[in-house]
Amino acid sequence: MINRWMIFVACLLLGAGGGWWLAGKDGLTTGLLLAAAIWLLQDSLKMARLLTWLRREQSADQPGVPAGEAPSLGGVWGELADRVRRLLRNRDRQYQDSQARLNEFLSAMQASPNGVVLLDAEGRIEWCNQTAAQHFGFDAKRDVMQHIANLVRDPAFTAYLSSGDFSADVVIPGGSSTPARPVKLSVHLHAYGNERKLLLSRDITALELAEAMRRDFVANVSHEIRTPLTVLSGFIETLQTLPLQEPERTRYLGLMAQQSLRMQTLVNDLLTLSRLEGSPLPDTSGWVSTAALMVQCEQEARALSALLTADGHRLVFEAGPPCELAGSHNELLSAMSNLVTNAVRYTPQGGQVMVSWTLLDDGRGRFQVQDSGPGIAAEHIPRLTERFYRIDRSRSRETGGTGLGLAIVKHVAQRHGAELQIESQPGHGSRFAIIFPLTRVRPSQT
Ligand code: ADP
């Protein structure tokens, strides 16, 4: 500032000196005034340049656009321009930093597996991630500033939104839900800031399905156990209260033994299933002989056929090329014998059951059971491996079925990387095959 005054005074002195030199005493005042006017003019010009630059900066004040170069003015105006430019530059840097942080934060919310929607105080969508857009069927860009109640019209959600009580979540159908493919969403609102709300949505379709399956499973197991238990307790009561003749007593005890065997079989199958689901996959280092498996299946089939029918079945076993399978002996035997015993159980006496082990052209191995039984209608085939799914309930029970056999077969096949194939037509018998992958089959080493 002192410099400025000094320059001003020097200008005046120079003007006065110049005037006195040119016009003597009279020119002194004129020179003084002229110097003051020139100094003021050049000062005003600098101020005008600074103002023009500032105005231009203000009109171009776009967030994130860096400040332009300040005019080089020198002196006090130059310093002022420099300081303003530095302030503007700092502001821009701060803006860019916070913008980068906001983008990182939004990217994190975008990556969330849950739907996230930010609502303003009026309930309008300020921002939503792609998951939320997919859950509710929004357009993440077009629907910004739309009222959420106009887009999510489920009555349960409308009541939840207007209640103001967001302590629990609400379950509503998803935007893409159809009767054939229902989608369930758990939606939770959280109030924050100035009456704003954070809406979180979670797809719970699979969870609900698993819960429904668990409920069904428990109901089925209870039902399966209750029936033989009721019969057993009825017989026990009869034996306790009535004086029975020996032949009758023996008959009742036989029936009781049958029912307890049924419960035992069911519990064994349930334990097998739970072991299959809970244990690690069988490794590929243990090798099981297919010939030995075929022998064990044949013995079981012949014993069962003799037990169930007077005339038996025509049982054909083709052991094929001697091979070894990588996997668990117990699991493989359980799966194969389930298919063989099913064929024997469902094929009427006199019918034929053909069991074979073959190496396919591509090197995979096929264990196949073909029967001349009643066959299965197409609509049942996809559901046969569901637990407790039976077509002929009474035939299944009469022959000691639990409804879990094919579920066990499917699990064992999956655990060995194999594929279960089922082909059948009513009246034309059935064909069940387990196709083992190349990696689990090798020629017999002995
Ligand atoms: P189950 O213990 O009742 O036999 P599975 O899971 O082994 O239970 O089989 C499911 C249903 O598939 C059976 O109840 C039966 O109706 C049908 N099924 C299985 N194998 C055959 C077959 N070889 N021929 C006809 N129906 C079969």
pLDDT tens column, 112-154:
999 999 999 999 999 999 999 999 999 988 999 999 999 999 9
319 Cα–ligand 1 center, Å: 24
Task: Indicate whether 262 pLDDT > 80.
Answer: yes
* Domain closes at, from 262, 279, 296: 279
Q: What's the rounded Cα separation, in Å, for the pair 327 and 277? A: 16
Task: Indicate whether 313 pLDDT > 90.
Answer: yes
| Mean pLDDT of all residues in 325-342 | 96
Q: Tell me which amino acid residue 431 is.
A: R
311 Cα–ligand 1 center, Å: 22
| Mean pLDDT of all residues in 102-115 | 92
**Tokens 């169930």 appear where?**
308
- DSSP-derived secondary structure for 38-81: HHHHHHHHHHHHHHHHHHHHHHT--TTPPP-PPP---HHHHHHH
Same structural domain, 300 and 419: yes
Main-chain phi, psi angles of 14, to 5 degrees: -65, -45
Range of the domain at 272: 208-279
pLDDT-derived band at 68, boundaries 50, 70, 90 = low
How confident is the model at residue 404, as a pLDDT? Answer: 95
| Mean pLDDT of all residues in 51-80 | 75
* Domain closes at, from 243, 260, 279: 279
* Protein residues with CB under 6 Å of any ligand 1 atom: 338, 342-343, 346, 371, 373-374, 376, 384, 389-392, 396, 401-407, 430
| Residue-wise pLDDT tens digits, 43-55 | 899 889 888 888 8
Same structural domain, 194 and 215: no
Same structural domain, 170 and 307: no
Cα 263 to chain center, whole Å?
A: 37
Q: What's the rounded Cα separation, in Å, for the pair 254 and 409? A: 31
| Mean pLDDT of all residues in 407-426 | 97
* Domain closes at, from 171, 203, 235: 203
Q: Which two tokens stand for residue 328?
A: 């668990």
Same structural domain, 68 and 185: no
- Select, from the ranges 140-144, 279-283, 364-368, 388-392, the one with the highest average predicted confidence (pLDDT): 364-368
Main-chain phi, psi angles of 227, to 5 degrees: -60, -55
Angle CA(203)–CA(206)–CA(211) in degrees, nearest 5?
120
The atom of ligand 1 lying closest to the CA of 343 is 23
Q: What's the rounded Cα separation, in Å, for the pair 357 and 321? A: 8
| Mean pLDDT of all residues in 425-445 | 95
Task: Indicate whether 63 pLDDT > 60.
Answer: no
Q: What's the rounded Cα separation, in Å, for the pair 437 and 288? A: 15
Same structural domain, 96 and 213: no
Domain count, the chain: 4
Cβ atoms 44, 38 nearer than 8 A: no
Same structural domain, 405 and 292: yes
Q: What's the rounded Cα separation, in Å, for the pair 70 and 79? A: 10
